[in-house]
Chain A
C-alpha cells in the first residue's frame, strides 16, 4: 500500500512542476511586467527610460528567464504568490479572505448533491424501466442542460424579487456576522449549485447500483430468501455507494467550474468571483495564481481518490 501511495505521489510531482512552469510561461507572455503596473501611466510618461530600467533591475526583471522562474517557484512553495496588479495587495491575502466563502458554499453543495443524488439514483435503479425511472432520467437530463447561471437568474427572479424570501445576493448584510444571519444568503446559491451537481451524481449512482444488483452475491442473498428490502438496501446499496462516495473527489473540477459562475450570479464574495473580476481587469498574477491553486486542488483530490480506491479495492494496487 505504501509503495502504491509513493508511486502515485512521484507521478504527481513532475506534473505539478510542469503545470507551474506553464502557468509562469503564461504569466511572462501576457503584456506588461511588474514595473508597468507599479507606476501609474501619468507618472510613467514623465519618468526617463534609465530610471525605468533601474527599477526593472532592482526588481530582478533583467535576469534570465530560468532565474526568474526559479525565484517565482521557490516563492510559490513558501506561500508567497506575488502581488495583485490592482492595489498591490499580496495575492495570498486575497486568497485567505476569499477562500472561506467558497469552501462554505462548496461544502454545502457537495453534501446535499451527494445525499440527494445517490438516493434518487438508487431509487431509479431499483425501479428500472418504470415511469419513475424515466421521469428521473429526464429530470437529470434537464439538470445538465439548463445553464447554471440561467437557473440562478430564474431563482433570483422568483424567490428574491417576486416573493422576497431570500436576499438577491451577497454573503451577509453589513454588520451581521453570525452564521444564522448569513443563512438566508446562502440558501439560493447553495441550492442552485447542489441541483447542478445532483444530476451527475444521480446518473453515476444509478449505473453503480444497477451494476451492484447484477452481481452474484445479490442472487445469493435473494435465493437465501432474504426480504427484498434487505437485499436491496444492505447488500446492493452498500456496495453501490462506495464508488459513488469515492468518486466525489472527481466532481471537484465540476464544483469549481460551477461555483465560479454561481458566485458571480449571486455576488458571493468567494474565489470564483475574484477570479472573474481579475480576468475582466486583466490582473494576470491573480488569474494565474487562482488557476494554479485550482489545478493543485484537483490533482490532490484525484490522488486522494486513487488512494481511497486502492484501499477499498486491492485489485487496483496490483494492476497498473
Chain B
C-alpha cells in the first residue's frame, strides 16, 4: 500500500485523455487561438450541458410550435373519447373528459415554462437591481436590503408561497408575482456578494476618481462582470420554479385548473383510481417535467463550470 506517490497511481480519467488530446494538438501546432469565446467552447465541451441544451430546445420548440405538431385543441372536451389509452390517434391518450393529452402536454408546456422562466427573470431583475446598487454603495441601504432578504429567506419557500396564495388568491399572474416575491432573495445575495468583491478592484477606484455617478459605475461598469453567476442563477431558479408550479398545481393550489399546465395535468393523479388504471394521464407528463427540469439543471451546471472556474469540482 505504500507504493508510488499520488499522481502516478491515479487512474487515467476522461479529463486526462482530453488534456492529452489538447497537448497533442498544441504540439502539432494546430491549437486554435481566438475564434469564439472561451466560455462558449468550455460549455460545448461539457457533454451533459450539451445534452441539456438539446433536450431543452426540443421541448421549448415543440411547445411553441404546438399547433403544427398536433391537430387537437387542448381544451376541447370529447365525451365519447374519454380515458382512451395511447394510440396512433392520441399519442398520449385522452383524459377523463376526452381531451387529447399530447396536445395538453405541448400547450401546458407553454404556460409552465412561461411561469418558470418568467418568474426567474423577474426575480433576477429585482434581485440584481437591488443587489448591485446596495452592494456597491453599502451603508444603511445595504443593511436594510439585507435584513429584508433575510426575512424572506427564513421562510421555507413552499410555506411562504402557499401562504401568499391563500392571501392573494389563485391566478396565473398572482403565481408569477408570488414566485418573484419569494425568489428574489437568492439572486440578490449573489449579486451583492459579487459586488462586495468587485468594489475593491482598481478600475472601480479609477471610475470613481473620474467622478462617475454611483448608479453608472454599479450598473454599467460592474454589473457586466457579474453576469456569469447571474445567468447560472436564472437557469437554476427556472428549474426550481417549474418544479414548484408543478407541485402547487398538483395540489390544486397553483395555476387555475382551467388553464392547461404540466402540474394541472398531473392534478387528477391525486385520485387513486386514475393512478392505478390510467397511467398514461400522469406518467408521460411527469417524465416530461423531470426531463425538462433535468435539462435546465444540466445547462445551469455547464454554465457555472464555463463561467466560474473556481467552482469546478
Hey, which bits of chain A sit against chain B, CB under 8 A? Answer: 15, 18-19, 22, 26, 29-30, 128-130, 134, 137-138, 141-142, 144-150, 153-154, 156-157, 161, 168, 206-207, 210, 222, 225, 227-229, 252-254, 256-257, 260-261, 264, 275-276, 278-280, 282, 284, 287-288, 290-291, 294-295, 298-299, 302
Residues in A whose Cβ lies below 8 Å from that of B298: 141
B206 within 8 A of A: no
> Do B154 and A298 touch across chains, with their CB atoms under 8 A apart?
yes
Per DSSP, chain B at the interface is helix
Contacts A150-B289, A284-B166 hold; do A15 and B5 have CB atoms under 8 A apart? Answer: no
Q: Which residues of A contact B145 (CB under 8 A)?
A: none
B275 contacts A256, C-beta separation under 8 Å: no
Choose one: B15, B282, B290; the contact of A146 (CB below 8 Å). Answer: B290
Contact call B154/A15, Cβ cutoff below 8 A: yes
Task: Identify A149's interface contact among B159, B167, B250, B313, CB under 8 A.
Answer: B250
With contacts A19-B151, A256-B156, A291-B155 known, is A145 near B2, CB below 8 A?
no
**Residues in A whose Cβ lies below 8 Å from that of B229:** none
Contacts of A19 in B (CB 8 A): 151, 154
The interface residues of chain A lying within 8 Å CB-to-CB of B48 are: 137-138, 141
Q: Tell me the smallest distance from the CB of A218 to a CB of chain B, in Å.
A: 9
Contacts A129-B13, A157-B276, A294-B156; A280 near B163 (Cβ below 8 A): no
Q: Is the CB of B247 within 8 A of A144?
A: no
Q: Which B residues fall within an 8 A CB radius of A?
A: 1-2, 5-6, 11, 13-16, 48, 147, 150-151, 154-160, 162-163, 165-167, 239, 243, 246-247, 250-253, 266, 269, 272, 275-276, 279, 282-283, 286, 289-290, 293-294, 297-298, 301, 313
- If A145-B297, A227-B2 touch, whether A279 touches B313 (CB-CB below 8 Å) is no
Which secondary structure dominates chain A's binding surface? Answer: helix
Cβ-defined partner of A288 (8 Å) among B154, B163, B251: B163
Q: Contact: A253 with B163, CB < 8 Å?
A: no
Q: By the criterion CB–CB under 8 Å, are A225 and B2 in contact?
A: yes
From B151, B165, B166, B279, residue with most partner A Cβ within 10 Å: B166
Q: For the complex, what is the distance from the CA of A192 to the CA of B313, rounded to whole Å?
A: 27
A15-B150, A291-B159 as given contacts; A147 in contact with B246, CB under 8 Å: yes
A153-B282 in contact given A130-B13, A161-B276 (Cβ < 8 Å): yes
Instruction: Report B-chain residues with C-beta under 8 Å of the C-beta of A18.
Output: 151
**Residue of B15, B48, B298, B313 most packed against chain A (CB within 10 A):** B313
Minimum distance in angstroms from B59 CB to a CB of chain A? 13
Residues of chain B contacted by A228 (CB below 8 angstroms): 1
Offer 22 A-B interface pairs, CB within 8 angstroms, sorted by A: A19-B151, A26-B163, A129-B14, A141-B48, A141-B297, A145-B297, A146-B286, A147-B246, A150-B266, A150-B282, A153-B266, A153-B286, A161-B276, A207-B313, A229-B1, A256-B156, A256-B159, A287-B163, A291-B159, A291-B163, A295-B155, A295-B159
B144 smallest CB distance to A (angstroms): 12
User: What's the nearest-Cβ distance from chain A to residue B193, in Å?
Assistant: 15
A128 to B14, CA, bound (A): 10
- Note all chain A residues with C-beta closer than 8 A to B162: 260, 275-276, 279, 287
Partner of B301, one of A141, A156, A210: A141
Cross-chain contact A298 with B156 (CB below 8 angstroms): yes
